[in-house]
Amino acid sequence: MSDKTYKLIAQNKKAFHNYTLTEKLEVGIALLGHEVKSIRQGRIHIRESFARVIKDELWLFNCHIPPYEQAHRIVKLDPVRNRKLLLHKRQLKKWIGKTQEKGLTLIPTKLYFSGSKVKLEIGLGAAKKIHDKRAKLKEKASNRDIQRHLKR
């Protein structure tokens, strides 16, 4: 992320549980006006969403933005429609090469306002196995127990 201040809108905490994220990238999203107003109200869900490269463009899938209720002329759009992600051509070529590797996926981790623009942080990650998730939970529990004993 840049050094500018930002206002966090949504965070995908499950992404860190389900995936091992190696790299992160800040991208913009092509949105319509009423979608931005709905996002300003905090009405967006990115938990089930993912990004994919299609014809040398990066697209966001399964991101749910409900319609803005105060708008008087809403075009009937699908709230889960695919949205184009905006990034530089060099970055896109680099990330296309990385997603060609077996088992790597682009997962959105955060959505925030950077100034007046909506930005999305996507991470490149591989899915964790069930035993990896269990080991991580056991490690957290043991660390909590150690901290409790150290407090006494």
Q: Is the pLDDT of residue 4 over 70?
A: no
The pTM of this model reads 0.77
Sorting pLDDT into bands at 50, 70 and 90, what band is 3? Answer: low
- For residue range 90-139, what is the model confidence (pLDDT) as tens digits? 999 888 888 887 878 899 999 999 888 999 999 998 888 888 888 888 99
Q: What is the token pair recorded at 122? A: 């996507």
pLDDT of residue 144: 94
Which residues, other chains included, contact 39 with Cβ-Cβ below 8 Å and sequence gap of 6+?
9, 31, 65, 111, 118
- For residue range 51-95, what is the model confidence (pLDDT) as tens digits? 988 888 999 999 998 888 777 665 667 788 899 999 999 999 888
The more confidently predicted of residues 101 and 49 is 49
Task: State phi, psi for 35 to the nearest 5 degrees.
Answer: -70, -40
Q: What is the token pair recorded at 149? A: 């004993």
The more confidently predicted of residues 77 and 11 is 11
Cβ neighbour number for residue 109 with a 10 Å cutoff: 20
Answer for the pair 50, 106: CB distance below 8 angstroms, yes or no.
yes
In the numeric block, the tokens 């997962």 are attached to: 107
Q: Is the pLDDT of residue 142 over 90?
A: yes
CA distances, 8 to each of 31, 42, 109, 117, 139 (Å): 17, 9, 11, 12, 29
User: CA 42 to CA 96: how far, in whole Å?
Assistant: 31
